[in-house]
Amino acid sequence: MPLPSTGEAERAGGPLRWTSALLFTAVNALFLAKYAFNALGPRGLAAPALYAACALALCAVGPRLLAGPLRRPRAFAVLAAALVALALAAVALTAGLELPVDRASAIVTFEQRLLHGDYPYAALTRLDHQISGFPGLFLLFLPLHLLGEVGLSQPLALLACALLLWRGPGAPAQKAAALLLLAGSPLFVWEVVVRSELLANLVLSAWLLEWTLRGERRSTRGAAALGGLAAGVLLTTRGIVLVPLLVFLRLVYGKLGRGGTLIAAGCAAASAAAILTPFVLWSRGQGAGSPLLVQVSSIPTPVLAASLCAALLLGLRCRSQDEAQAATGALLCAIVAVAFALFCARLGLTEAMLRSRFDLSYFAFALPFLLLSLYRPPDAAGPAR
């Protein structure tokens, strides 16, 4: 990535950013290829090729081209506001609940059953699918449901990414290129149109980790407890949240120290238990399966164990925030890719990909961390202690 030269650190960080750029482009091109091929046949494969060329060009020369018009931070704020407004318009102009995708339907169904005092996991979605999210996910979406539009999560996620970029180091042109890359990615556009929550879920995780690692007062016990409580809530949204928490383990330990880390871990366990226990007990009263088993059963146990071990090993090796962000994005891509490969081996590529037996939109999990590692100067956060 053509960033302002920072000598040896810049040269060391280049491979990380280019790896993130290639992964970001590849997963979006693969996702686009599925729908382009279904719509146009082999001719549709020109669409992902064109997207890949444009995305890599934006990564390579975008910061230089934008350096003039976006040399001031205020220009970045205007760009971010315009992109968020476009996302809000897309939500207003599309009928996400009427599309043959169940993400928004699962949220709305869960919220309606919960507000009526019924066990929500006993209900089926509009397309007769089982609700698979952990209860914390739906509790976070409850305010948006009460507002009447769960699709607001993706414009808010885009705004949150813009604020993360704004607060971080680097030139405004670099941050603008990264934000444009996200806003124009097929996976993000899909998330907006179908009212999904995958990207928003991991954006919140990135926010929590950024909040923990920034600021002198983050080493206090109160801040450690607050961060731990928030981490516990996020862990009850989707199990995949555990991956970035493990990858950032060394950096968090370096910031909070042994005592602060133990406090954070204890508070995370307490808040997760406080959210999950009522639903587990409720499921027994209904004679239904535990909501904890629904999501865990979606990934083979060996893959799950290997993923957590890899996250922990990376967490012990990553010495800076740019390394941890790149490693998190790469590992999340790898986890989804392995699951996709297993589906292809069992069902064949046509069934797994073109006929949607595997949901390629899970690659959206990786986008926030790949995005953040694209612009961040090497060792901007400093090495872990």
pLDDT given for residue 290 in this prediction? 60
- pTM equals 0.89
Question: Which parts of the chain have pLDDT scores under 70?
Answer: 1-13, 96-98, 215-219, 286-298, 376-385
pLDDT given for residue 305 in this prediction? 87
Domain ranges of the chain: 8-375
Nearest to 168 by CA among 228, 209, 229: 209
pLDDT given for residue 38 in this prediction? 85
Report the distance separating Cα 338 and Cα 328, nearest Å.
Answer: 15
Report the distance separating Cα 186 and Cα 191, nearest Å.
Answer: 9
Tens digit of pLDDT for each residue in 122-132? 888 887 878 87
pLDDT given for residue 385 in this prediction? 42
